[in-house]
Amino acid sequence: MTAYDDQNIFAKILRGEIPNVTVHEDDDTLCFMDIMPRTDGHCLVIPKTPCRNVLDASDAQLASVMSTVKKVANAAKAAFGADGITLQQFNEAAGGQEVFHLHFHIHPRHQGVSMRPPGKMGDMDAIKAHADAIRAAL
């Protein structure tokens, strides 16, 4: 298994080297807004401990992350009056992973509305407002 790179962007966020818009935090996990949102309310959940992806995650890391994913997904669904939630999780470069720290994307979804294309910076005021909405529903 490839070694964990502690210089990845999410490790830097965890160390406070890069700012983020936090939605939820507990002892084991952090949920923050994606700055290139593909849906309104697009956020990410990560473990606070080093872990590249599902393939090398411990059972405890997965349990903690999934508990937070469920909690935030329900709040995001309520906050946006969404019809459903799409979860995305990628493993290794061939599987689409770009940041090599375990993370789950949470996307509130509305019937008939496609996700936006990846890679476009979002409006930070809107992102902060979306975080406020999710936090209020937690």
Q: Could you give the residue numbers annotated as active site?
A: 103
52: exposed, middle or buried (Cβ count in 10 Å: 0-12, 13-18, 19+): buried
Question: What's the token pair of residue 68?
Answer: 């937070």
Cross-strand pairs, 31: 24, 45
Residue listed under structure tokens 């590249």: 52
C-alpha–C-alpha distance, residues 110 and 23, integer Å: 21
Q: How far is 13 from 4, CA to CA, in rounded Å?
A: 15
